[in-house]
Amino acid sequence: MADLFSGLALGFGVALTPINLMLCLIGALVGTLVGVLPGIGTIATVAMLLPITFGLPPIGALIMLAGIYYGAQYGGSTTSILVNIPGEATSVVTTLDGFQMAKQGRAGPALAIAAIGSFFAGCVATVLIAVLGAPLTKLALAFGPAEYFSLMVLGLIFAVVLAKGSVLKAVAMIVFGLLLSMVGSDIETGVSRMAFNLPELADGLGFATVAMGVFGFAEIIRNLDAGAQMDRELVQQKITGLMPTRKDLMVSAPAIIRGTVLGSILGILPGGGAVIASFAAYTFEKKISRDPSRFGRGAIEGVAAPESANNAAAQTSFIPLLTLGIPPNAVMALMVGAMTIHGIVPGPQVMQKQPELVWGMIASMWIGNLMLIIINLPLVGIWVRLLRVPYRLMFPSIMVFCAIGIYSINNAPVDVILAGAFGLLGYWLIKHDFEPAPLLLGMVLGPLMEENLRRALLISRGDWTVFLTRPLSAVLMALAASLLVLAVLPSLRKKRDEVFAETED
Amino acid sequence: MADTAGHSPGSTASTIRNSSAAIAVLVLALAPQLVDLVWSIGGLLGSLAGLVKSSGRNPAQVLAGHGSALLFAVPSLAFGSFGATTKSALSSETLLALIYTYPLLAVAAFTLFVKLRAPQDYFGGVILMAIALFALWASSDLQGTRGFSFGAGTTPRMFGVLLLALGAGVAVVGLVTDGPKLATYAWRGPLFESLSILSFALTIRPLGLVISAFASFIISALGTPETRWTETIIVGICLTIGCSLLFPYALGLPLQLFPRFLLQ
């Protein structure tokens, strides 16, 4: 216990230095600024802003990234509530009741309750990380290559279950991602693989390049299909009365607590917890509500629960990243990318070797949350004005910004062309109803998976049953198999489709 | 969509669609060879203009190489018969024909005779198969498994085969269940956004940030007919100034602002 608090104290010591506070503040502001833009989700925001952290020292860079992440997430909810355009999957549910509240002139309370719920969830999740971090690190030491491999399989299967639409297509996207991750030099022998003798491909495809292409460029190209005059039903009323009433608070307090609990649990599991957390929290609230018909017509619980769940999950998803080094979702994968650029290899060793980094980041998450609540509520007016900038002016700016961002990673023009190619690929994927998120996760986990698979088989002398004979690994594999079976089962499929269908009206 | 099998107008419409679908798959099957040919023509023109060093192979050689590979791939395999030793002796073109083109030609022929109930899924699956086959070809020169130790090529091949199977699965789903038609593709957005990216990539080194950022902003704005030019140009100038201050100065990235020839 004393251990835990000394850790947190160390973290706050690091995070509360003026420079790091400043970085966190700037990150949260810029993250919100970009995240508010419709059509740009958290992943795209973090991918776009990644290059601006390159010049900083590692701790500062990660603190700023954490700020950007929270800012982007909060910006996404703002867009969902005010214009009914969810920036990304996690804020889809927020649009259901949030936008209805805004239409009734209650955008202020909706935004406030989203921020308050997120903050509460963030506080709880921060404590949870601090408590669970150290024991989980010990568990991580019991992990051999076989266990790592099985855990990653579990994570990928999770991503499949959560992707909407066909299970088969989601699995195909993961394998495509794994295949893309093989481009470049082989880890063990250093042989160049599928690089066609192009020196630019010798190091493999850059993760940020692919992410920016598949999410950033593809999104813009797709939006242009519909015409730049995007159908935006902007809330025209002035936002008055920011604070929720006493009744609002009474109603949403239990919803926030339930959402936080649900989100914290789902976030720890590898494989994109934040999305399912917000959906699960919403459906749960609807189920236990005395009057379910209120949902979809501006019920404040419908904003409070998913927003807190999504933030709690986002926060606890740092646990598998910091302890096992496995990114549980695409945003965390970007964080890993950022860490490796700064020469940090995430995993159990980081906790021991660089405690100030880990605890600093945990503390700064909490501070980031606090900042969001303090800065963003007064700034809502500005964000609303930003939403009135027409898309025809916005999209070329985003294009240029992205292009400079990619170029600046390696100072390589070829990276920009590759990102463009992946943009076209992403456009094609959207047209054929393939989801890009599993692809990205597969691509990130690919090298780790391959390495552990090879190592496990080498240790077992080529015996494939090693994944089933080692108890921990067998449990993980069994979990993965049962999840996959559940996802394919028709009854559950129908339910899952219902959850998604409900959000697409 | 009127896919009434009994009516003659409907069935002729579907045969027309199917032959065009088969042709699309055929083009896909020959795509790497065509790209190689275009590339070599580009290389030839480039070397004639003195822009780039000759790539070594001229279009005629490329055409002859792929042509003979496509024609004689099966005989050469038959002569070499079984055994992994001869496989390494096969040329890269022959392998491409064997691994990539022939299976896809079979798919193209197959497409001709089936009813596509969900074209979106069917073509999605077929293109995934093409990607998998291409990856299998690209990793065919790599060392495979030795004893129980993986070679560099083991995992790429493993995932390649897996993706092939999954792509085939998606395509089969498109044959047996009803689903959405092909989505319509717009040309304007993709074209100008790609051009914008391309122009940025090509001009950033020689011309510097200011010119290339502004140019790619303008090209990108062509992507929609709704652009109003005065405001676009004003915003473009402001954005260029903003980026020139933000990236090199505020963030300290080593970006060159102005054309190289002006600086010398």
**Minimum CA–CA partner of B230 in chain A:** A393
Give the tokens for residue B209: 């940030």
Distance in Å, alpha carbon of A213 to nearest chain B alpha carbon: 11
Identify the top-confidence range among A30-44, A212-226, B81-95, B109-123: B109-123
In this prediction the ipTM stands at 0.84
Separation in Å, CA A395 to CA A40, A214, A383, A421, B193: 11, 16, 17, 18, 10
Per-residue pLDDT at A272: 53
Per-residue pLDDT at B10: 39
Chain B residues with CB-CB distance to A30 below 8 A = none
Q: How many domains does chain A have?
A: 1
Per-residue pLDDT at A16: 81
Chain B residues with CB-CB distance to A186 below 8 A = 142, 152
Rounded distance between C-alpha atoms, residue A408 and residue A47, angstroms:
13
Question: Shortest CA distance to A205 belongs to which of A186, A181, A240, A241?
Answer: A181
Chain A residues with CB-CB distance to B167 below 8 A = 172
Rounded to the nearest 10 degrees, the angle between the axes of helix A377-387 and helix A107-141 is 100
**pLDDT tens, B18-65?**
788 888 888 888 888 888 888 888 777 777 766 555 555 677 777 787
395-414 in A: which are within 8 Å (CB) of B? 395-397, 399-401, 403-404, 407-408, 411, 413-414
Single-letter code of the amino acid located at A287? K
What count of other Cβ atoms lies within 10 Å of the Cβ of residue A340?
A: 12
138-197 in A: which are within 8 Å (CB) of B? 166, 168-169, 171-172, 175-176, 178-179, 182, 186, 188-189, 191, 193-194, 196
Chain B residues with CB-CB distance to A413 below 8 A = 201-202, 204-205
Chain A residues with CB-CB distance to B152 below 8 A = 186, 188-189, 191, 193
Chain B residues with CB-CB distance to A172 below 8 A = 128, 163, 166-167, 169-170
Contact A484, A160 (CB under 8 A): yes
Residue A226 touches partner B, C-beta closer than 8 Å = no
Range of the domain at A499: 2-503
Chain B residues with CB-CB distance to A428 below 8 A = 127
Question: Shortest CA distance to B1 belongs to which of B24, B23, B17, B21?
Answer: B17
- Pseudo-torsion of CA A281, A283, A284, A289, nearest 10°? 120
Give the tokens for residue B98: 């064997």
> pLDDT band for position B164 (50/70/90)?
very high
Per-residue pLDDT at A38: 60
Average of per-residue pLDDT across A149-170: 78
pLDDT-above-70 percentage for chain A: 84
- Does the CA dihedral A264-A265-A268-A272 come out positive or negative? negative
For the ranges A23-32, A34-43, A95-104, A168-177, which has the lowest average pLDDT? A34-43
> Taking CB atoms and an 8 Å limit, are A461 and B148 in contact across chains?
yes
Contact B129, B164 (CB under 8 A): yes
Rounded distance between C-alpha atoms, residue B62 and residue B70, angstroms:
12
For the ranges A56-60, A101-105, A183-187, which has the lowest average pLDDT? A101-105
Contact B182, B20 (CB under 8 A): no
Mapping DSSP to helix (H, G, I), strand (E, B) and coil, where does residue A357 land?
A: helix
Per-residue pLDDT at A490: 61
For the ranges A143-152, A272-281, A324-333, A363-372, which has the lowest average pLDDT? A272-281
Mapping DSSP to helix (H, G, I), strand (E, B) and coil, where does residue A446 land?
A: helix
- Give ∠ CA A467-A471-A474 in degrees, rounded to 5: 45
Residues 6+ apart with CB under 8 A from A418: A200, A205, A206, A209, A210, A213
Per-residue pLDDT at A382: 74
**pLDDT tens, A55-76?**
788 888 888 888 888 888 888 7
Give the tokens for residue A87: 């920036």
**pLDDT tens, A401-460?**
778 877 877 778 888 899 899 999 999 988 888 877 778 778 877 887 888 888 888 888
Say if residue B83's pLDDT is above 50. no
Say if residue B165's pLDDT is above 90. yes
Contact A454, A188 (CB under 8 A): yes
Rounded distance between C-alpha atoms, residue B164 and residue B155, angstroms:
14
Say if residue A496's pLDDT is above 60. no
Identify the top-confidence range among A194-208, A369-383, B82-96, B201-215: B201-215
Residue A191: Cβ-neighbour burial (10 angstroms; 0-12, 13-18, 19+): middle
> pLDDT band for position A499 (50/70/90)?
low
Distance in Å, alpha carbon of A431 to nearest chain B alpha carbon: 6
Say if residue A88's pLDDT is above 70. no
Query: Tokens 């649009």 correspond to what residue?
Result: A95
> Taking CB atoms and an 8 Å limit, are B197 and A450 in contact across chains?
no
Say if residue A475's pLDDT is above 70. yes
Look over chain A and give the mean of its residue pLDDT values, rounded to a whole number. 77
DSSP states of A131-194 as a string?
A: HHHHHHHHHHHT--HHHHHHHHHHHHHHHHHHSSS-HHHHHHHHHHHHHHHTSEE-TTT--EES
Closest by Cβ to B150, choosing from A217, A220, A457: A457
What count of other Cβ atoms lies within 10 Å of the Cβ of residue A494?
A: 10
Say if residue A323's pLDDT is above 60. yes
> pLDDT band for position B251 (50/70/90)?
low
Mapping DSSP to helix (H, G, I), strand (E, B) and coil, where does residue A435 land?
A: coil
> Taking CB atoms and an 8 Å limit, are A393 and B155 in contact across chains?
no
For the ranges A67-81, A285-299, B86-100, which has the lowest average pLDDT? B86-100
| Buried/exposed code over B192-229 (b: 16+ C-beta within 10 A; e: otherwise) | bbbbbbbbbbbbbeebbbbbbbbbbbbbbbbbbeebee
Contact A323, A139 (CB under 8 A): yes
What count of other Cβ atoms lies within 10 Å of the Cβ of residue B94?
A: 21
Distance in Å, alpha carbon of A319 to nearest chain B alpha carbon: 29
Look over chain B and give the mean of its residue pLDDT values, rounded to a whole number. 78
pTM beyond 0.90: no
- Does the CA dihedral A49-A54-A56-A58 come out positive or negative? positive
Q: What is the 3-state secondary structure (H, E, C) of chain B?
A: CCCCCCCHHHHHHHHHHHHHHHHHHHHHHHHHHHHHHHHHHHHHHHHHHCCCCCCCCCHHHHHHHHHHHHHHHHHHHHHHCCCHHHHCCCCHHHHHHHHHHHHHHHHHHHHHHCCCCCHHHHHHHHHHHHHHHHHHHHCCCCCCCECCECCCCHHHHHHHHHHHHHHHHHHHHHHHCCCCCCCCCCCHHHHHHHHHHHHHHHHHHHHHHHHHHHHHHHHHHCCCCCCCHHHHHHHHHHHHHHHHHHHHHHCCCCCCCCCHHHHC
Rounded distance between C-alpha atoms, residue A264 and residue A312, angstroms:
5
**pLDDT tens, A330-364?**
677 777 777 777 777 777 677 777 777 777 777 87
Say if residue A503's pLDDT is above 70. no
Single-letter code of the amino acid located at B39? W
H-helix segments, A342-376:
348-353, 355-371
Residues 6+ apart with CB under 8 A from A223: A39, A230, A391, A395
